[in-house]
Structure formats: structure tokens, C-alpha cells
Amino acid sequence: MTWRHALMIDPAASGADLTDFTATFSDVDPAGPVLSLGELSAQRGDGVFESIGVVDGHPQDVTAHLERLAHSARLCDLPRPHLGQWRAAVHVVAERCPAGESVIKLVLSRGVDRGPAPTAWVTATAAPDFTRVRRDGVRVVTLDRGIDSDASARAPWLLLGAKTLSYAVNMAAIREAHRRGADDAVFVSSDGIVLEAPTASVILRFGDRFVTPEPAAGILHGTTQLSLFAFLAARGFEVGYERVSVDRLQRAESGWLVSSVRLAAPIARVDDHPIPVDAALTASFNDHLLSPRG
Amino acid sequence: MTWRHALMIDPAASGADLTDFTATFSDVDPAGPVLSLGELSAQRGDGVFESIGVVDGHPQDVTAHLERLAHSARLCDLPRPHLGQWRAAVHVVAERCPAGESVIKLVLSRGVDRGPAPTAWVTATAAPDFTRVRRDGVRVVTLDRGIDSDASARAPWLLLGAKTLSYAVNMAAIREAHRRGADDAVFVSSDGIVLEAPTASVILRFGDRFVTPEPAAGILHGTTQLSLFAFLAARGFEVGYERVSVDRLQRAESGWLVSSVRLAAPIARVDDHPIPVDAALTASFNDHLLSPRG
């Protein structure tokens, strides 16, 4: 299935008093030429993005994604996105999504080099089929992120908490994981603290407590992790943000990589350490994540 | 002056036995829509680039830039660029450059998401006027790069020696420098070793010895720095690659940020430490850099 939809949106046209945003959207050919070579997204990876899961036409966790888009934009000194405009664009493309799982991407670029304003677009495509990986899980390797866990606090220009378009290192880490016979990577700080996967958050179980690395260590605050923590807390489990050592990751009772489109993929192995896959709990996570949310 | 030229080049069409590459080039409107929204350069900053200075139609240091493009591509697991094809494209656009200074950019992107092949393009534009900054110099602030000086060796997936399109952090560092009342930044490793500027190499003078940070510390090997070292060595100066501490940077007899388009900009201040500007030597550097080279 190769359907795709794309809208350019004009961020500069979104006055605070605007309520009908459709005049600020324009349909474009998702496979055709749209961006100029002067685009700073393409020249510099200079912009921010979000990926939103869509189930049967319902976009999930939209508010959490829009708030993170605004947070990323602020860290990158981009003009504040008008969230009403972006929400309207998400709903326009979500309505075109067929039954099943889709993915909506939001991109806010700094625009054309020396141009007047940011460029922004929203696309919708079919999601890949993650049925197998949600059941059988992923083998991960830990990879040094080079940065210590205090770097984010002392050096905000490293943009560690922003979801920027500069993802070359994330992509290189996944290729390195494949070279090592694994499916995915988990980044670890140079002082041995678990951070995040290149495109997912990490959740670990120790007894009845579920933990995820603290966003303060310089990682994205995961929208799917937030949704699963609410799900777990409502069922009486303890949830928390912690500094997690690599050693503790390797000894987790269970673990998951969680993200908006792949959803909850159980961690089946960390480096040379097998991790038990809890099939029933994982299925309940994914049932929750596939139900209409947010 | 707002002239621009742009060529798309087809890397997949460059057979080893091809000698006339013009059929693999296509002129495109440099301000018009060219790239699709699926471009991984725009979505992920996933690709590599070079910026080549052009003086009166002569592109400078072409071989050094092409070799670095190939080096960056290798670090990013991109298909090896056919350097004959890229060289031919550089010369096609250089011939269209008017008298004065221009800049040619080469971009090799991983291509469209799930597409068959990389995307590549070459553009030429007028260079900004750097006369003042080449004479009066730049005030720089040192900014923590978060990464220690051994990270590059132990974690090649950090792509520290590759000139990737993922430059959001480099751009954020320049904005931070401006916020601090400076013109530019110099990145320093978390263990206090001088690395590079966001878009330039650092050269420092101590007596009759000129030093630049070792590329092994995880920085780009500067093409302009190489050219100036050859110039200095031919004049009997000692040149070398060293680990340079921040403290030593602040006590340099003179210093320069050097790059392909701005050329040699003397460092007039590092943090709160004034650095003497050697006007005559700087002028000889820029005379050399503006003469036809490579």
C-alpha cells in the first residue's frame, strides 16, 4: 500500500484570531518536487519534527505531540508554532487515512536560506507492518552516545531534548546495530547511564515498578512512554523516572522500546544478555496503544 | 546580487567507464520546487556536503573537497561518490560564476525514503562579502561540545569526522555565540580540548609555530587549514597538529578561524581574553587563499 498525502502549511499566515486554518494549507504531491534546494531542512537538518501514529483514521496523542513540537521549536529558537493550525492540519490528513495503521509526520523547518519564514508540512502514509516485532521483540546493542548525562543541563545548544531533523547519528546507530547482528540500538551516556533508542524510549520492569530514564539526562520525553505510564499507573503499578545504569538495563525483568508508530516492542536481548519477553503484558500494552487515545 | 545556479546529478548513472558526465546532470531552478518531501536530507539530515570557494570562476581546492566528500560518504555508509562525475559538475557550475567570490555547494543525500538511490546536487551562489571580518576579525566564545576528545575513536557512529547535513547543533552554537555578544563559537570537548568552530577550523600561533587541533579528536580535517599549513611551511614556519587546551587557546599569540568561503578570519577575542590581530599576516593568508589553488 503506497498511498500518501501531503499538505504544506504556512506558519506565518496563522494569526492568533484565525479559527479556520484551511486557507493556510495547500495540497502538494507527496512524491513530486516541492522543496527548493535552499531549504535549510535539507542543507542543515535545521528544523524539528514529530511522528504521530494513526489508527483507523484517529491520530493518537495529538496534544502531547504538538506540545513536544512547540518545546523542540523553542529549544531551536524557531518561531512558536500555532498549535491550533497544526492540530487542524493533522485532522485534515488523518481524515484521508484508510482503516488500519498510518503515520502522520509534522515537519517545521527553518525555511529557505535567508528566506522570510519557516517552511512546514504534514504528510500521512501507511505505517509499516510491525506485528512480528511487537510480538517477538527486538535484540538491542548499547552504543555510546559520546555525551555524559549532565551535558544537556550545562550545554543547551546541543539540543539534546529537541526532536530535530538532524538525525544522521540516530540513523548511523541503527546501521551499527544491524552490523552487530541486532535490530536496534540503545544509546548510553559516556558515564554509563541508559538514555534512549535512536527512535524510541526505553521502559524497564523491576518487580512491580516500571522505570524510564529521566528526560533531564538529555533525551526526548516520549509521548508513548507517557501514555503507557498512565496505563500502568491506572492498573496499580508503580512508575518512575530514574538514572538507569547499563548494568541494570541488562538485568531488567522485562523491557520495551516504545514509540508512536512501532508502539511497544519487547526487548528480547541487550548485548549478550537475554531479557524475558512478557507476551501477555506486551499484548496489553499494544492493545492500549492501538485504542483511540488523546 | 542574487544569481544562483543548480544542477541535479544522478550518482547511480555514473558507470566507471563514463567520461562525459553531462548526460547525468540536469539543470534545475535553484529557487523552484525540486526535492520531494520524502527526501531523507530534509527528513533526517541524512547526507553529506561540501562548500567550495570560487574566485573569478576558479573553484579552489577541488581535490581536497572531493576527497573529504568521499570520506564523509564512507563514514555514513553512503555509496562511494564517483569523483570524476562530481568534479565535472563542479566545473560546469564554476564556469557560470561571474568575477568575484562565489560558493559551490555539493550535497549527497541518502535519497528519498525507501527510494532506490541517493539524490545529489550542486549549486553555485554569490559569496557574502567577508571583507570586514577578514580584516577586523571575530570575537568567539568557547562552547562545550558535550563529547570528550576520545569519543570519535571509540564511537564512529557519532560521525564526528563526517561533514553531514545534520548541522542543527552547529547552527544552535552560532546563535548561542550571538546571544553572548560574540560573532562565532569554538567547540571544546568535555575534557577541555579545543576542537573546531561550527563551520571553520582553528589555527593558532605560538612563536614561529602554527598549530591546529588533531582531526583524531573528532573534527573535520579542514581543507583551508591544509592549504594554509602548506603556505606557512613553504615560508619556513613550523606547523603541527596538537591537543590544544582551552587555556592555551586563550593565550595564543594570534589565532584564526579558517574556512572555504569566509577564508581566514582573525580571532580578536576568546571569551574575555583579547587576542592580538596580526593584520599583515592575515592579509597574506587571504591573498594566498584568494589566489587560484588546487
Nearest CA to B165 out of A43, A32, A173, A262 is that of A43
* Helix, coil or strand: residue B132: helix
Does any CB of chain B come closer than 8 Å to the CB of residue A28? yes
Q: Cite the beta strand spans of chain B per DSSP E.
A: 4-9, 25-28, 47-55, 58-59, 101-109, 119-126, 138-144, 184-188, 201-206, 209-213, 238-242, 254-259, 263-270, 273-274
What residue of B is the nearest CA neighbor of A110?
B168
- The residue-averaged pLDDT of B150-165 equals 95
Chain B hits for A173, Cβ within 8 Å: 157
What residue of B is the nearest CA neighbor of A185?
B157
What residue of B is the nearest CA neighbor of A78?
B172
pLDDT for the residue numbered A12: 81
What residue of B is the nearest CA neighbor of A168?
B46
Model confidence pLDDT, tens digit, residues A63-111: 999 999 999 999 999 999 999 999 999 999 999 999 999 999 999 999 9
What's the pLDDT band for A1 if we cut at 50, 70, 90? very low
pLDDT for the residue numbered A229: 98
- The residue-averaged pLDDT of B234-261 equals 97
Helices B223-234, B62-75: axis angle to 10 degrees equals 140
Compute the C-alpha angle A89/A92/A95, nearest 5°.
145
pLDDT for the residue numbered B233: 98
Quick check: B28 and A45 CB within 8 A?
A: no
Pull the grid cell for residue A96. 484521508
Report ipTM (2 d.p.).
0.96
The answer, yes or no, to whether residue B166 has pLDDT greater than 70, is yes
Quick check: B164 and A168 CB within 8 A?
A: yes
Sheet holding B4-9, edge to edge: B25-28, B4-9, B119-126, B101-109, B47-55, B58-59
Does any CB of chain A come closer than 8 Å to the CB of residue B155? yes
Q: With a threshold of 0.90, does the pTM exceed it?
A: yes
Quick check: A151 and B144 CB within 8 A?
A: yes
Quick check: B35 and A37 CB within 8 A?
A: yes
Quick check: A33 and B34 CB within 8 A?
A: yes
Alpha-carbon distance of B120 to B130, in angstroms, equals: 28
Work out the mean pLDDT of chain B and round it to a whole number: 95
pLDDT for the residue numbered B3: 85
- The residue-averaged pLDDT of A16-39 equals 90
- The residue-averaged pLDDT of A267-291 equals 98
CA A192 to centroid of chain Cα atoms: 23
Quick check: A157 and B148 CB within 8 A?
A: no
Model confidence pLDDT, tens digit, residues A28-74: 999 999 999 999 999 999 999 999 999 999 999 999 999 999 999 99
The answer, yes or no, to whether residue B68 has pLDDT greater than 50, is yes
DSSP letters, A167-180, are -HHHHHHHHHHHHT
The answer, yes or no, to whether residue B1 has pLDDT greater than 80, is no
Beta bridge pairs of residue A27: A7
Chain B hits for A31, Cβ within 8 Å: 36, 38
Nearest CA to A215 out of A108, A104, A105, A71 is that of A71
What's the pLDDT band for B169 if we cut at 50, 70, 90? very high
What residue of B is the nearest CA neighbor of A34?
B33
DSSP letters, B101-115, are EEEEEEEEE--BTT-
Phi, psi of B254 (to 5 degrees): -150, 165
pLDDT for the residue numbered A140: 98
CA A86 to centroid of chain Cα atoms: 17
Does any CB of chain B come closer than 8 Å to the CB of residue A26? no
For residue A216, how many other CB atoms are within 10 A of its CB? Answer: 15
Quick check: B144 and A165 CB within 8 A?
A: no
Q: What residues 172-191 of chain B have any CB closer than 8 A to a CB of chain A? A: 172-173, 175-176, 190
What residue of B is the nearest CA neighbor of A188?
B155
Pull the grid cell for residue B83. 569523483
Model confidence pLDDT, tens digit, residues A205-219: 999 999 999 998 889
Alpha-carbon distance of B149 to B244, in angstroms, equals: 11
Contact A27, A133 (CB under 8 A): no
Alpha-carbon distance of B196 to B202, in angstroms, equals: 6
Which residue of A32, A165, A176 is in closest CB contact with B43? A165
The answer, yes or no, to whether residue B222 has pLDDT greater than 60, is yes
What's the pLDDT band for B14 if we cut at 50, 70, 90? low
The answer, yes or no, to whether residue A160 has pLDDT greater than 80, is yes
Alpha-carbon distance of B271 to B273, in angstroms, equals: 6
**Residue A171 C-alpha, separation from nearest chain B C-alpha, in angstroms:** 8
Q: Is B292 exposed, middle or buried (0-12, 13-18, 19+ CB in 10 A)?
A: exposed
Pull the grid cell for residue A134. 511487537
The answer, yes or no, to whether residue B276 has pLDDT greater than 80, is yes
Chain B hits for A169, Cβ within 8 Å: 157-159, 166
Quick check: B46 and A157 CB within 8 A?
A: no
**Residue B79 C-alpha, separation from nearest chain A C-alpha, in angstroms:** 14
Quick check: B35 and A32 CB within 8 A?
A: no
Quick check: B42 and A42 CB within 8 A?
A: yes
